[in-house]
Amino acid sequence: MTEFSVDAIRKGGKLALSRVLSRVEADDESGRAALDALFAYTGKAHKIGVTGPPGSGKSSLVNALAHHLRRSYPESRVAIIAVDPTSPFTGGAILGDRVRMPDLQNDPGVFIRSMATRGALGGLADATLSLSQVFDAAGYDYVLIETVGAGQAEVDIVTLAHTTIVVDMPGMGDDIQAIKAGILEIADILVVNKAELPGADQTYRNLVLMIEMGYRGTGRINGGHHRLTIATEARSIEPEGWLPPVLKTTALTSQGIAELEQAIHQHRAYLQASGTWNAKENSAIRQTIDKLILKELSENWKKTLPAGLYETVMQSVSQRKLSPRAAARALLAYNSE
Amino acid sequence: MTEFSVDAIRKGGKLALSRVLSRVEADDESGRAALDALFAYTGKAHKIGVTGPPGSGKSSLVNALAHHLRRSYPESRVAIIAVDPTSPFTGGAILGDRVRMPDLQNDPGVFIRSMATRGALGGLADATLSLSQVFDAAGYDYVLIETVGAGQAEVDIVTLAHTTIVVDMPGMGDDIQAIKAGILEIADILVVNKAELPGADQTYRNLVLMIEMGYRGTGRINGGHHRLTIATEARSIEPEGWLPPVLKTTALTSQGIAELEQAIHQHRAYLQASGTWNAKENSAIRQTIDKLILKELSENWKKTLPAGLYETVMQSVSQRKLSPRAAARALLAYNSE
């Protein structure tokens, strides 16, 4: 990647940006070189993860939030990364290219990127991090990362966000309760969307109650030991002191969105005052470095193995003569001789 | 682990089994030794993943299926591993220990294990694989693995199953459609549960249509190139030739469960006839070996670094003077000198 294109991206050229995003998402040599060159300009954007169970209206909320940010801070730019669970499998082929949030498409200060075309399983979080770095370097002030569903992928993705918003809605069943319990721990801000629906107050009260039970139960308020031991590195560095607020919104009419924006900026102020902002950045960087080193170590090691040895050992394991651990030991022992 | 306890487990002692499962889930030294000792007895169990969107009634379906298998094949034993998304965060503390499927609890041929206590993020799939190996070695013929939600974690978990059942239900919204598209690719069998509800026929027709569109669209029928390039190793080795059947069930009344069991055994016959059964086993083993080697390589490498060097390099990256890739290169270059 030439300096020219770094310039073009930094100057706000959407076509140049779009091209680099594609290269970075493909994770090819030119994409990696671009990330390298752009890295010096990163570290400013506020990365905001938005997650929650299906049907809770996350897309609408992201849409309303982006609108509100653009109206309130006309100088700021907003990037949206929509991580679609169809991506690892279908390349989005079944649903086709859904046109999302059409009223934002013509706003020059908004860039929407769908990850529906991402093919690599297990690489969603890495790819999301890389894309958000490109937006960061390109001068986008907010990167909204929307993930559908709730599971490991969401956890991996939200650990790279500074602020995680968990969206819920009234009247979901018992199965959803389980999911809520799971994603409560990762929430910096909780939103009851579709608050105009019957049962919204009940859902709101439940969430407040679960927050209190959950954080007391897992010790976050009383010392935070549980959180420290089970959380990922990125989460474990977060100090005590932030109790997630629960908000009610109706994204379609922008009801409550101003309050949500306020909570986001309060969380940002908290992160910066407590040093967590930098700690989160550094944790993500550390993970990236470690992954790159691991990949290189693995490739170098494989080169030292004589042809056929791996397959011979693998055959013994396949015949249950050797356990996988014994096989790993045998292969490593050969190498160190 | 002594040979005695291997014997105890193989003889069907539930207490001995329960203890080993706990050690294996904790992934401590005794758990690893147990896995090593038990590995020789693995490779027989039929691992069946059951996944789908929240509210689709997966637990009830697993319950009904286990009952049916036990009634139809009284000699067989059934293990159930319920992977709860609350686990990475709360240790299940919020919901407490839900007593699941009470009518199966007293069946000596059924063992139910909840993964709600699993703490390690990112390790769910590994832990599930390890537990299923213990059940396999202990002589369980079927290991039913239930995962809630749909996302990366589910994908990682189901790739270790021989047969993946994706459960859907009538009348879910647009957001769910996206998820369905995502999990269609991993389905060996599709189930419309709660088939007594209005809209079941519509959901059934949609799924049949999506299967046809999806597999044609992604080239599974016409050559399967797309699947081969984007799938994980475990999936990519599956040959063409199996078109996932779509079934209607009402788990609560066991309606359609006999047909489901039939489809499961048809799929098993297909896997065995095509050689995919062994290929799947070997792919899982290969992944395990590779992970063990990678872990060891990484630990050995870290030992060779002089104290403080990593942190010095990290500081340069944190100040944006060095990119993560340049940092990785610098650290690796030191090591190879």
Which residues of B fall within a CB distance of 8 Å from A185? Answer: 89-90
- State both tokens at A107: 């706003």
- Whether B189 and B314 share a structural domain: no
With respect to residue B62, please indicate whether it lies within any of the assigned structural domains.
yes
Predicted pLDDT at B328: 94
Which residues of A fall within a CB distance of 8 Å from B222? Answer: none
Give the minimum alpha-carbon distance from A170 to chain B in angstroms, rounded to a whole number.
15
- Whether A93 and A109 share a structural domain: yes
Can you say how many angstroms the Cα of residue B321 is from the centroid of all Cα atoms in its chain?
A: 42
C-alpha A197/C-alpha A250 separation (Å) is 9
With respect to residue B113, please indicate whether it lies within any of the assigned structural domains.
no
Predicted pLDDT at A258: 97
Q: What is the CATH number of the domain that holds A118?
A: 3.40.50.300
C-alpha B330/C-alpha B318 separation (Å) is 15
C-alpha A215/C-alpha B53 separation (Å) is 27
With respect to residue A298, please indicate whether it lies within any of the assigned structural domains.
no
- If you average pLDDT over each of A46-60, A68-82, B3-17, B51-65, which comes out highest? A68-82
With respect to residue A252, please indicate whether it lies within any of the assigned structural domains.
yes
- Whether A206 and A86 share a structural domain: yes
Greater confidence (B154 vs A332) lies with A332
- State both tokens at B216: 């044609």
- Whether B328 and B190 share a structural domain: no
Which residues of A fall within a CB distance of 8 Å from B93? Answer: 214, 217-218, 226
Residue in chain A closest to B39 (alpha carbons) equals A323
Give the minimum alpha-carbon distance from A74 to chain B in angstroms, rounded to a whole number.
28
- Model confidence at A51: pLDDT above 90: no
Are A91 and B173 an interchain contact pair (Cβ–Cβ within 8 Å)? Answer: no
With respect to residue B264, please indicate whether it lies within any of the assigned structural domains.
yes
Q: Which pLDDT tens digit goes with each residue over A258-277? A: 999 999 999 999 999 999 99
Which residues of A fall within a CB distance of 8 Å from B286? Answer: 314
Across residues A208-225, what is the average pLDDT?
Answer: 51
Across residues A229-244, what is the average pLDDT?
Answer: 50
- Whether A5 and A73 share a structural domain: no
- Whether A133 and A265 share a structural domain: yes
The answer to whether A151 contacts chain B (CB < 8 Å) is yes
Sheet strands side by side (includes B142-147)? B110-114, B78-83, B142-147, B46-51, B163-168, B189-192, B246-248
Q: Which pLDDT tens digit goes with each residue over B110-135? A: 998 887 544 444 467 788 899 999 99
Which residues of B fall within a CB distance of 8 Å from A327? Answer: 289
Residues B142 and B48 sit within 8 Å (Cβ to Cβ): yes
Predicted pLDDT at A181: 53
- Whether B314 and B165 share a structural domain: no
- Whether B248 and B326 share a structural domain: no
Predicted pLDDT at B214: 61
Across residues A274-293, what is the average pLDDT?
Answer: 90
C-alpha B166/C-alpha A9 separation (Å) is 43
With respect to residue A111, please indicate whether it lies within any of the assigned structural domains.
yes
C-alpha A298/C-alpha A309 separation (Å) is 16
Residue in chain B closest to A178 (alpha carbons) equals B86
- Model confidence at A74: pLDDT above 80: yes
- Whether B176 and B230 share a structural domain: yes
Regions in chain B scoring below 50 on pLDDT: 3, 86-100, 117-122, 174-176, 178, 216-239
The answer to whether B165 contacts chain A (CB < 8 Å) is no
Predicted pLDDT at B227: 28
With respect to residue B122, please indicate whether it lies within any of the assigned structural domains.
no
- Whether A11 and A63 share a structural domain: no
- Whether A27 and A143 share a structural domain: no
Give the minimum alpha-carbon distance from A109 to chain B in angstroms, rounded to a whole number.
26
The answer to whether A172 contacts chain B (CB < 8 Å) is yes
The answer to whether B208 contacts chain A (CB < 8 Å) is no
Which residues of A fall within a CB distance of 8 Å from B40? Answer: 320-321, 323
With respect to residue B297, please indicate whether it lies within any of the assigned structural domains.
no
- Its domain, for residue A269, covers 42-292
Q: pLDDT exceeding 90 applies to what percent of chain A?
A: 42
Greater confidence (A146 vs B100) lies with A146
Give residues with Cβ within 8 angstroms of B131, minimum separation 6.
Answer: B21, B24, B25, B81, B113, B115
Q: How many domains does chain B have?
A: 2
C-alpha B270/C-alpha B273 separation (Å) is 5
Among A35-49, A157-171, B74-88, the least confident range: B74-88
Q: Which pLDDT tens digit goes with each residue over A302-331? A: 888 888 999 999 999 999 999 999 999 999
- Whether A196 and A232 share a structural domain: yes
